[in-house]
Amino acid sequence: MSAGDGADEPDDDSPTGVFVRPATNAAPSRRPAQRSHATQGQIRDSEMLTVKEAAHLLRVNIKTVYLEIAAGRLKHVQLGRRIIRIPRSVIASLTSKSA
């Protein structure tokens, strides 16, 4: 190759590949599976419940659960500043006492 053919030097007008999507023959990548959130008819089978799940099981408003936690009447586990989990056994003991 000679220095005059320009094979080693990029052309100023040629695309750099930054804005060009590379062509691939592979299948398009899938997004990671999203976690399913509990709906009214479905509660996940776990030992720890979210505030929303606990409120659904107790058939009360979410704000009521937060008020009971703040008053110290509902045992819970606080993981960090914003993550609150309530043991399923606490909810079970509440429902068995009221029945």
Residue 3 has pLDDT above 60, yes or no: no
Cα–Cα distance, 94 to 9 (Å, whole number): 76
What is the per-residue pLDDT across 30-49, written as a single tens digit (0 to 9) for each? 666 665 555 544 555 679 99
Cα–Cα distance, 86 to 78 (Å, whole number): 9
Average pLDDT of the residues in 5-11: 58
Residues 6+ apart with CB under 8 A from 58: 64, 65, 91, 94, 95
Token pair belonging to 63: 């704000």
The pTM of the full predicted model, rounded to 2 decimals, is: 0.54
Residues 6+ apart with CB under 8 A from 77: 48, 84, 85, 86, 87
Average pLDDT of the residues in 43-56: 86
Residue 27 has pLDDT above 80, yes or no: no
Average pLDDT of the residues in 57-66: 96
